Amino acid sequence: MHRGAYLVGIAGGSGSGKTSLMRALRDRLPEGSVCMMSQDDYYLPLAQQTLDPNGRVNFDLPEGIDLDALARDLQLLVAGETLVRTEYTFNQEEKEATVLEIAPAPIILVEGLFVLHHAPLRELFDLRVFIEAHEATQLQRRLLRDELERGYGNEDVRYQWDNHVMPAYREFLLPYRHHCDLHVVNEVDFSRAVTVLADHLNRAAHQVAPLTLQSL
């Protein structure tokens, strides 16, 4: 296997548990064997986001994210380079952004709504995972998360859900569900899926051959 890493794309709707799954896998695998990337850290500036017919910013569109940059950075990681990026703070002006240093690792986990929609990105993955839960479950998780972590009120969250989140899910994510190698149901608990995935990734990590100049 002449690759510098094993790439895993984790896609799913808002509130499905993408980030939770990624962290659970990191915690189950040997220290230093995993690096994690989020599509969210590639959002374009607020001024470049699209407004909906009511003049509200729609953050749930692929064109609002620099997916080409994410694909390029993944290739740099595979080649052994360390990345430095600024964490996306979801436009919370009072929150100081963290500078992220992402070092190469045998396993690279990438999560995001549109990581399968963008063909140059989708084709990089060795394994594609789709995580899902009932729509009502995902909405309740989003309501809780956005209130606690992002300071959004219920009215704003529900407006985004009905007008941005679900239309984007149906158009840009759901059609790619059949491209995935593994479907994870996260209605209550996904521990069995984590066990299966971690076992697979642990074996894959041992098959990764570090890149050399001759293999580039």
- Stated pTM of the model: 0.89
pLDDT value of residue 93 = 59
pLDDT band of residue 213 (cuts 50, 70, 90) is very low
Q: Please, what CATH class does the domain formed by 6-215 belong to?
A: alpha beta
Mean pLDDT of 79-105: 81
29, 68, 75, 173 from 72: Cα distances, Å: 25, 6, 5, 21
pLDDT(88) > 90: no
Taking all residues of the chain, what is their mean pLDDT, rounded to a whole number?
Answer: 90
pLDDT(2) > 60: no
pLDDT value of residue 4 = 80
pLDDT band of residue 94 (cuts 50, 70, 90) is low
Q: At what angle do helices 191-205 and 18-28 cross, to 10 degrees?
A: 50
Residue 208 backbone dihedrals phi, psi, to 5 degrees: -75, 130
pLDDT value of residue 146 = 83
What are the extents of the domains in the chain? 6-215
What digits encode the pLDDT tens for the residues 178-200? 989 999 999 999 999 999 999 99
Answer yes or no: are the C-beta atoms of 54 and 28 closer than 8 Å: no
What digits encode the pLDDT tens for the residues 32-41? 999 999 999 9
pLDDT band of residue 206 (cuts 50, 70, 90) is confident
Residue 36's beta-bridge partner residues? 109
**H-only helix segments in the chain:** 18-28, 67-78, 119-122, 135-149, 154-160, 166-168, 191-205
